[in-house]
Chains A and B, each alone.
Chain A
Amino acid sequence: MIRRGAKARAGDVADIRPLPEAVADLVRDGDTVAMEGFTHLIPFAAAHEVIRQGVTDLTLARMTPDVIYDQLIGAGLVKKLIFSWGGNPGVGSLHRFRDAVENGWPRPLELDEHSHAGMANRYVAGASGLPFAVLRGYRGTDLACGSGTISTVTCPFTGEELAAVAALNPDVTVIHAQQADRDGNVLMWGLTGVQKEAVLAAGRVLVTVEEIVDELVPRPGGVVLPGWAVTAVAEVPGGAHPSYAAGYSVRDNDYYQAWDPISRDRERFTAWLRRNVLDREGAATR
């Protein structure tokens, strides 16, 4: 029996499904979507499927928007971005993000802007079922001005004033991992970023994996997500490209560098998107 996008209950296992079907079912117009992965394990193939299906009016959350959100923003599917660092790592600007913020092209982009510490703690609060998280942060900066998700709270024990950030609970979180077993239990290792928190904060969870294996073998520093905490798993080898999956691939730094001139120009970007994403099935390659 195929469960149609319901949140997993204890005892259930994740559905193993083709990526197009899983995206169609789990990612909906107007959703708040988190596609996480801190440089490593970024779910590019799932994002490209979202672009092909034209799922729109999205609020996207991600600590480091990276090229993946530059592509979604340039495709015109994003109305709001919740983030903490919007650059092309080691290269420079995200030009589609900049064009949307500076010129409203292809549509205006609302921002909810944080520091990394603030974003990480927003997911922690969301995963913990708390309305907000406490941290030492933002003091004296202009980031707190005008944000509806940054405030202060007084410690009831010491009287100290601390920063408070609102919980972030995405409608759906999408991540990429190395492996899942046939019950949909997920294993990832290497830099695992904020993915566990983003998954446990979300209403629905889609995980793409490099491969589905008969048995998961424990790894040092590995993170296991039980199948009953995941809504759907799709097998997408290379689904993190041009990001990478430790043990399977290396980061395609040339792609990130090549993205700079492609993304600077609206027409060149639009042609790239058509050729490499819209007219293509599966993970885009250069």
Chain B
Amino acid sequence: MTDAPESASPDELMTVNAARALAGARTCFVGIGLPSAAANLARRTIRPDLVLIYESGAVGAKPARLPLSIGDGELAETADAVVSVPEMFNYWLQAGRIDVGFLGAAQIDRYANINTTTVGRGPDRPASRLPGAGGAPEIAAGCGEVLIVLRHSTRNFVDRLHFVTSVGHGTGRGDRERLGLRGRGPVAVITDLGVLRPDPETAEFVLTELHPGVTAEQARAATGWPLRTAAHVGTTAPPTAAELTALRALTNA
């Protein structure tokens, strides 16, 4: 058998730990891609009654396999309610009814601000055009808290964003309140190397956990700002056989 815990890939470590971060959530606004995989895994493992909300209008979707898009038919067919897009953003998200927003990113900075709009490639080439904002700016602003899942590299974890698409903690602690953003903002960035969380005083993201076998030096080398480490850096629990089996069933379905 290949589903022994020690055989987990870096991506699987990231997704399993992202799913675990939903242990206390009741409702989750789910971005497509890595966040969707993690949220669906949580519903199959630690949080069976997690309400998955997709911006296409599905509230309480229960897909049997991972959807390719946020509007796959199965999301609506299995939902508790299907609502229009204006209703989704105004009544459900903006009004503060959703506990956790789960986002991916192209770039983040040390305060977990997100860029999904455009990335410069130097003076001789046009900036690389990315898809843009989607639902993320208001998800990041209005959900009770925000989780970000992202592969760890200096390409993604940058000293300075080329464009602020969605606000994490702005320029530091107190900025969200100053901007009138109602949710608590990002509380964890889960990567394929470990977990970063905001410093309680400055809101700068610091390394708090590493996956088994990963060193702090590896995490620092993959971060585009001088990554600080918490006083005590923990190790994430290895994925259980049950977690890996559920994840592989999801992604291979």
A: which residues have CB within 8 A of B? 38-40, 63-64, 83-87, 89-91, 93-94, 97-98, 101-103, 113-117, 120-121, 123-124, 135-143, 160-161, 190-194, 196-197, 221, 223, 244, 246, 250-251, 253, 256
In the complex, how many residues of chain B place their beta carbon closer than 8 angstroms to a beta carbon of chain A?
53
**Nearest chain A residue, comparing its CB with the CB of B72:** A251
Q: Tell whether A89 pairs with B137 under 8 Å between CB atoms, given A116-B89, A141-B164.
A: no
From A87, A103, A137, A250, B138 is in contact (CB under 8 Å) with: A137
The 8 A-B residue pairs with the shortest CB-CB distance, nearest first, are A39-B71, A87-B131, A89-B69, A90-B68, A85-B134, A140-B167, A117-B89, A102-B126
Q: Tell whether A39 pairs with B56 under 8 Å between CB atoms, given A138-B137, A141-B137, A194-B84.
A: yes
B232 CB-CB contact with A under 8 Å: no
Shortest B4–chain A CB gap in Å is: 30
Distance in angstroms between the alpha carbons of A123 and B85 in the assembled complex: 11
Asked whether, in the complex, the Cβ of A115 is within 8 Å of the Cβ of B137, the reply is yes
**A-contact bits for B74-105, CB 8 A (1 contact / 0 none):** 01110001101110111001100000000000
A-B contacts, 24 of them at CB < 8 A, read A38-B57, A38-B71, A40-B71, A83-B132, A84-B133, A85-B133, A94-B131, A98-B128, A102-B129, A115-B135, A120-B90, A121-B90, A136-B180, A140-B164, A140-B167, A140-B170, A141-B167, A142-B117, A142-B165, A192-B84, A193-B56, A193-B57, A197-B84, A253-B68
From B55, B81, B86, A123 is in contact (CB under 8 Å) with: B86
Return chain B residues, CB-CB under 8 Å to A117. 89-90, 93-94, 135, 137-138
Shortest A35–chain B CB gap in Å is: 15
Greatest chain B CB density within 10 A among A97, A142, A191 is at: A191
Describe B's contact surface by its main secondary structure.
loop
Shortest B52–chain A CB gap in Å is: 14
Distance in angstroms between the alpha carbons of A101 and B132 in the assembled complex: 13
Asked whether, in the complex, the Cβ of B82 is within 8 Å of the Cβ of A115, the reply is no
Q: Tell whether A102 pairs with B134 under 8 Å between CB atoms, given A196-B84, A256-B68.
A: no
Distance in angstroms between the alpha carbons of A139 and B140 in the assembled complex: 11
Return chain B residues, CB-CB under 8 Å to A223. 84
Distance in angstroms between the alpha carbons of A141 and B114 in the assembled complex: 9
Which positions 10-68 of chain B face chain A at CB distance < 8 Å?
32-33, 55-58, 67-68
Asked whether, in the complex, the Cβ of B85 is within 8 Å of the Cβ of A120, the reply is yes
Return chain B residues, CB-CB under 8 Å to A139. 141, 167, 179-181
Greatest chain B CB density within 10 A among A83, A113, A139 is at: A139
Shortest B187–chain A CB gap in Å is: 18
Asked whether, in the complex, the Cβ of A160 is within 8 Å of the Cβ of B132, the reply is no
Shortest B143–chain A CB gap in Å is: 12
Asked whether, in the complex, the Cβ of B132 is within 8 Å of the Cβ of A84, the reply is yes
From A90, A221, A244, B73 is in contact (CB under 8 Å) with: A244
B107 CB-CB contact with A under 8 Å: no
Q: Tell whether A39 pairs with B69 under 8 Å between CB atoms, given A102-B129, A121-B86, A190-B76.
A: yes
B182 CB-CB contact with A under 8 Å: yes
Asked whether, in the complex, the Cβ of A194 is within 8 Å of the Cβ of B86, the reply is yes
Shortest B244–chain A CB gap in Å is: 23
Asked whether, in the complex, the Cβ of B85 is within 8 Å of the Cβ of A38, the reply is yes
Distance in angstroms between the alpha carbons of A234 and B89 in the assembled complex: 31
**Nearest chain B residue, comparing its CB with the CB of A143:** B133
Asked whether, in the complex, the Cβ of B137 is within 8 Å of the Cβ of A191, the reply is no
Return chain B residues, CB-CB under 8 Å to A137. 94, 137-138, 141
Shortest B39–chain A CB gap in Å is: 15
Return chain B residues, CB-CB under 8 Å to A103. 126
Shortest A248–chain B CB gap in Å is: 10
Distance in angstroms between the alpha carbons of A101 and B100 in the assembled complex: 34
B136 CB-CB contact with A under 8 Å: yes
Which positions 161-205 of chain B face chain A at CB distance < 8 Å?
163-167, 170, 175, 179-182
Distance in angstroms between the alpha carbons of A256 and B77 in the assembled complex: 21
Greatest chain A CB density within 10 A among B56, B128, B167, B175 is at: B56
Distance in angstroms between the alpha carbons of A39 and B134 in the assembled complex: 13
Return chain A residues, CB-CB under 8 Å to B128. 98, 102
Asked whether, in the complex, the Cβ of A89 is within 8 Å of the Cβ of B85, the reply is no
Return chain A residues, CB-CB under 8 Å to B94. 117, 135-137
B127 CB-CB contact with A under 8 Å: yes
Shortest A163–chain B CB gap in Å is: 10
Shortest B25–chain A CB gap in Å is: 21
